Structure 1
Amino acid sequence: MPPTRPTPGSDPDPALYDSLDGQVALVTGANRGIGAEIAGQLRDLGATVYAGARSVTADVPDGCESVPLDVTQEGDVEAAITTVGEEAGRLDVLVNNAGVGQFDDQLHEEPTPTIDRTLSVNLRGPTLLSKYALPPLLERDGGRIVNVSSGMGAIGEDQSGGSPSYRISKTGLNGLTAYLHGEYAADGLLANAACPGWVATEMGGEDAPRSPAAGAETPVWLARLRPETVGGGLWRDRQPVEW
């Protein structure tokens, strides 16, 4: 049975893995912030974690396997998936976490290079990662793709207040999540998006009320879903929300 799509406002209680022993995860942007927390928490659950970072000298959480990965470079993306396959022989979880954002200008003021980079990192990157990760993820039921998104991309909410390319990129990422569910759920894939909230990271700023550990909770929870549970939703604090 394919995973069901959650209804916003419901209180689903999907079955979860208590341990990820024997499973393999790839996390992008895993050298700091939410990504480092996700990688570390998945490691603590027993997974073999490949921590993607743009620089080969970047620090990644202890116990994780560092893999060079600039999500804007297709060669890096393909090489990272190949490395995981050759070294680990499987891939169970892809977490598309790497992201950038500028939060001030309106669209008529935002520099075109900012638009290009934001869309490249936040949307094109996860699309390419998903493209190359799908074959190993579909080798067994219950492969998971978790897209770290944002409520700022929800088309049901007021899209004002600047941050145009960031908002548009996250709307697109939510669309990628819906597409992956619609196209591959019947093949056993569980694709979901998570809104971590406003988190105190380099991008979120020091005034943000949430810690990176708190921001990582829902993405890690989605990475623990068992086969044939739920897919195709945007989640905040482990609850499905409108998007």
Structure 2
Amino acid sequence: MSRILVTGSADGLGRAAADAFLSAGHDVVVHARNRQRAAALDALAARGAHVVVGDFVERDAVRRIAAGLSDAEPLDAVVHNAGVWSGPAVMPVNVVAPYLLTALLPGPRRLVYLSSGSHFGGRPSLTGVDWRGGSAGSYADSKLFVTALAAAVARLRPGVLSNAVDPGWVPTKMGGPNAPDDLELGHRTQEWLATSDEPAALTTGGYWYHQQTQDPHPAVHDEEFQDRLLEALAEETGTALEGR
């Protein structure tokens, strides 16, 4: 069985994935941004999940969580599920936090980053991006960036299975009650990529939708853009993402 961190697991897709991992017998680490949200994880904790708390808007919180996890039993997989739709937290939560966790937790051999079909509307430009969230960033841009991050990790760490997943427009708190896609299918692909030994799940650098690879935005596999993104994030955070 695997030890798996699922960020943003107090509700929605993250909670559904954490619940499924626990039901399959995996050792699961769940995450909430504050103590009030963590109360929603009590039922999962009662089933054996380990709880970590920290607001991903705050880089010190991300570093503290990474340090605590580095001192614990090694992780086999991370599902970077935490995300916000709008407001000044878009870049810190959707891009900076998964970047920092990836840089600070070199051990996991499987990484799953939550993307979105909205990434096709993102702009492959880093000019004027406010990584600290002093202004509202574009959700589409953030999802393009994190999808490119997944591809960059796949290139730089060939021993790691790194993939991005579009869960579809599903009826979660973020997606809204009238979202047309299937909530069950929305979390199944990240679970499969994090744990399955099927040959298709043992691939890397993919952009997935319902267990099928899709062609992402052309910038995602543009190595020059990937390198510029990593350089910008390394400069901004003071933490470089090392290859393997």
- TM-score (ref. length: structure 1): 0.74
Residue 156 of structure 2 aligns to a residue whose secondary structure is helix
Q: Match for residue 56 of structure 2?
A: 71
Please give the alpha-carbon distance, in whole angstroms, between the structure 2 residues aligned to 1:76 and 1:51: 15
Aligned length: 196
Report which of the two has the higher share of helix: 2
Tell me how far 1:83 sits from its aligned partner.
Answer: 2.5
Which stretch of the first structure deviates more once superposed, 225-234 or 197-206?
Answer: 225-234
Which stretch of the first structure deviates more once superposed, 163-172 or 90-99?
Answer: 163-172
- The answer (yes or no) to whether the contact 1:154–1:242 under 8 Å persists in 2 is no
Amino acid at match of 2:18: A
- Confirm or deny that 1:165 pairs with 2:138: yes
Residue 154 of structure 1 aligns to a residue whose secondary structure is helix
Amino acid at match of 2:81: N
- Confirm or deny that 1:184 pairs with 2:163: no
Sort the Cα spacing of 1:179 and 1:155 in 2 relative to 1 into closer, same or farther, 3 A.
farther
Unaligned runs of 5+ in 2: 123-135, 217-244
Q: 1:48 aligns with which of 11, 27, 30?
A: 27
Q: Match for residue 221 of structure 1?
A: 192
Which stretch of the first structure deviates more once superposed, 59-68 or 219-228?
Answer: 219-228
Sort the Cα spacing of 1:146 and 1:81 in 2 relative to 1 into closer, same or farther, 3 A.
same
Q: 1:232 aligns with which of 184, 197, 205?
A: 205
Please give the alpha-carbon distance, in whole angstroms, between the structure 2 residues aligned to 1:178 and 1:222: 15
Unaligned runs of 5+ in 1: 1-20, 103-113, 138-142, 157-162
Please give the alpha-carbon distance, in whole angstroms, between the structure 2 residues aligned to 1:82 and 1:213: 33
- The answer (yes or no) to whether the contact 2:70–2:105 under 8 Å persists in 1 is no
Higher relative contact order (CA 8 A, sep 6+): 1
Q: Match for residue 101 of structure 1?
A: 85
Tell me how far 1:152 sits from its aligned partner.
Answer: 1.3
- The answer (yes or no) to whether the contact 1:77–1:132 under 8 Å persists in 2 is no
Alignment of 1:110-129 (within 5 A): 114=87, 116-129=88-101
Please give the alpha-carbon distance, in whole angstroms, between the structure 1 residues aligned to 2:214 and 2:141: 18
Sort the Cα spacing of 1:223 and 1:82 in 2 relative to 1 into closer, same or farther, 3 A.
same
Please give the alpha-carbon distance, in whole angstroms, between the structure 2 residues aligned to 1:213 and 1:147: 18
Amino acid at match of 1:36: R
Please give the alpha-carbon distance, in whole angstroms, between the structure 2 residues aligned to 1:196 and 1:77: 24
- Confirm or deny that 1:194 pairs with 2:165: yes
Identity of counterpart residues, as a percentage? 32
